[in-house]
Amino acid sequence: MDEKLYAIELAGQCNELTAWRILKDASAAMLDANASSVDPSRIEIKDDGSFALAAPSDAELKGFDAPETCHGTTAANSGVWSLAASLFYIVMGCQVMNGKGGSAQHESSRLPFMRSTWPKLSALIQQCLDYHPERRPSMQEVNTMAAEQFMTCSETVKKGPKFQEKTLDQGRPDSDAIAAFWPEAMQSANK
């Protein structure tokens, strides 16, 4: 029995290197197939660790179509939006636009941000999710940047983990220890 694995199974557990590889491989496959949409259940994990597009099925997930597609038109960069929404789901474990995808996006909608520790990937995904298709990068631009960043990230991983210097006073049991432990910036609830 040859069971296939799909990127949707990585949802919420995807590291940066894998995210760049998914973006690189899936954008190349979309360029080859001239595909205008994708969802995480169509991104197949190959035996060698690469990713490919599986054929569309009747059980495609909703919420991964670009806003213009949801409103009955298509644009050259609709696939870019779809791929970005798919990658956002794979990395974060939730869909964009409060789980409603492109059908809920409007011109004034705030673009989601993934992780401050992954600034290049997060910024690229935001650009790809722009409401206006003409402001999005082309699929070729996405593929080129993903290939470059995949190589950079691979080299960083080969060098080993980067250790942060401890700046805490280990003798002070206060809220500074919690704030320093948490990787994202925290804001007071009183603001």
Q: What is the DSSP string of 89-101?
A: HHHHSS-TTTTTG
Show the DSSP H helices in the chain as ranges: 16-33, 67-70, 78-92, 119-128, 139-159, 175-181
Are β-strands 5-6 and 51-53 bridged in parallel, bridged antiparallel, or unpaired? unpaired
Give the per-residue pLDDT at 181. 62
Q: What is the mean pLDDT of each run of 10 residues along the chain (191 residues)?
A: 86 96 97 92 95 84 88 84 96 92 89 92 96 95 98 91 62 54 64 52
Q: Phi/psi of residue 52, each to 5°?
A: -140, 165
Q: What is the pTM of this model?
A: 0.82
Give the per-residue pLDDT at 1. 43
Domains within the chain, CATH numbers bracketed: 5-157 (1.10.510.10)
Tokens standing for 8? 């949707």
